[in-house]
Structure 1
Amino acid sequence: MVERNLTVPDTPLRDSVMFKVVQTLHHARRRKLVRMIEKMRVRRRARRCEGQSNAWTGAE
């Protein structure tokens, strides 16, 4: 805020800047969760594939 030389009467701009910051943090958190879920799915698929290949070959 100081770098932009904003004063107290600039509350609409301040609020919009704060809104953008908060939105960015929310999106980052959501992206982190999405990546974590995708990793879990990949691991689960890999385990399933290992289990299927063992079932087809008869090996354990």
Structure 2
Amino acid sequence: METSIFERDGKTWTRFKVKVKELRIYARLLKKWVDINKPVKQSSRYIYFEVEGDLLNN
């Protein structure tokens, strides 16, 4: 799983990039912050989730 911080419309967002094969491993952790049934983007290899706020530096 990779995490990154970005700015959109003056707000800070955290993006989680998870491999499809590893989603079961990280699902319990991600459920605290995002709805894992509604990814922002999905490809054949990765699933992307976004949440408003800076979760890396808190």
TM norm. shorter chain > 0.5: no
**Higher RCO (CA < 8 A, seq sep 6+):** 2
TM range (shorter): under 0.3
- TM-score, normalising length from structure 2? 0.19
- State which structure, 1 or 2, has the greater radius of gyration over its C-alpha atoms: 1
Higher fraction of strand: 2
